[in-house]
Amino acid sequence: MEPTYSIVIPAYNESTRLGATLEKVLAYVRAQAWDAEIIVVNDGSRDNTADIVRTFAANDPSLRLVENPGNRGKGYSVRNGMLNARGGIVLFSDADLSSPIEEAAKLFRALEDGADIAIGSRWLRAETQTQRQPLHRQLFGRIFNLLLRLTLGLQFADTQCGFKAFRLPAVQAIFPLQRIERWGFDPEILFLARKLKFKVQEVSVAWAHRDGTSINPIVDGSRMFLEMLRIRWYDLSGKYDGDPTPTSPRVKTVPGHRGPQA
């Protein structure tokens, strides 16, 4: 039987913290008695990320490994995991658990209340940030958010938080159309959500900055700005107007499922 929830974790060279992350996620899922699967997408890691997942999976069948064809980027990893997920509700979370897995209950509750997509936000209530980013990263984020509002019309306080949950119909419609494979994929999927008229709810979540993130504000910031313009071009040129149905569509409803617990 297909699970109620899928939790997707993209991972690239995450051997130093992935073990602790999987312990926390698996323990929380068991404590909540959720019918869930956990998917780790290995993005061509050069360390033993995949071996760590296999070791955990050998003792827990709810965990499985999905391998990318080499290093393709976070956006590709998220899309690969989302389209491999079998749950009626699919969450993706950063491997460092900047937002604790316990915050998933808030996103699931927003879906139960009628949203198609619930996105974690660090900036709806800034006091929920238990450890803030360095000042230059905060400034970069604010500038990027302003450009998103001007260029793509995305009126969210935070598009980049790596903690988002989707109902299955939204997954099936949005992710086959996603084209951005690296850091700029978050605005693209939110742009597509608006274009396809899905209801998106922004939810304040606890969040803490983690050291060791591989984003470079200058190099990756420039790339993300170009990707922002590319999203606008894709839309104007009709590249988002194709059939969004996946090759093997999965239709599943989840009425009366066990809801999240705080």
- Give the mean model confidence (pLDDT) for residues 147-164: 87
> How high is the pLDDT of residue 261?
44
Give CA–CA dist 167/254, Å, rounded.
10
CA distances to 36, 138, 139, 165, 182 from 126, rounded to whole Å, are: 30, 11, 14, 21, 26
Residue 249 — very low, low, confident or very high, per pLDDT cuts 50/70/90? very low
Torsion angle (degrees, nearest 10) of CA 56, 58, 61, 62: 10
Can you give the length of the chain in residues? Answer: 262
For residue 73, being part of any structural domain is answered with yes
> How high is the pLDDT of residue 139?
63
For residue 260, being part of any structural domain is answered with no
Is 18 a residue whose pLDDT tops 50?
yes
Judge contact between 175 and 245, C-beta under 8 A: no
For residue 257, being part of any structural domain is answered with no
Residues 6+ apart with CB under 8 A from 13: 45, 46, 47, 49
Could you give the number of structural domains in the chain?
1
Q: Mutual orientation of helices 74-84 and 185-195 as an angle, nearest 10°?
A: 50
Judge contact between 30 and 63, C-beta under 8 A: no
Q: What is the pTM of this model?
A: 0.85
For residue 155, being part of any structural domain is answered with yes
Q: Give the range of the structural domain holding residue 47, as residue numbers without chain letter.
A: 5-236
- Kindly report the CATH number assigned to the domain that includes residue 53: 3.90.550.10
For residue 18, being part of any structural domain is answered with yes
Burial 82-100, CB ≥16 within 10 A → b, else e:
bbebbbbbbbbbbbbbbbb
> How high is the pLDDT of residue 259?
46
Residue 211 — very low, low, confident or very high, per pLDDT cuts 50/70/90? low
Residue 223 — very low, low, confident or very high, per pLDDT cuts 50/70/90? confident
Is 162 a residue whose pLDDT tops 80?
yes
CA distances to 13, 35, 61, 151, 178 from 75, rounded to whole Å, are: 16, 26, 26, 20, 9
Residue 100 — very low, low, confident or very high, per pLDDT cuts 50/70/90? very high
The whole-chain average pLDDT of the chain stands at 86
For residue 241, being part of any structural domain is answered with no
For residue 84, being part of any structural domain is answered with yes
Phi/psi for 113 (5° steps) reads -85, 0
> How high is the pLDDT of residue 242?
66
Is 243 a residue whose pLDDT tops 80?
no
> How high is the pLDDT of residue 251?
35
For residue 247, being part of any structural domain is answered with no
Is 218 a residue whose pLDDT tops 80?
no
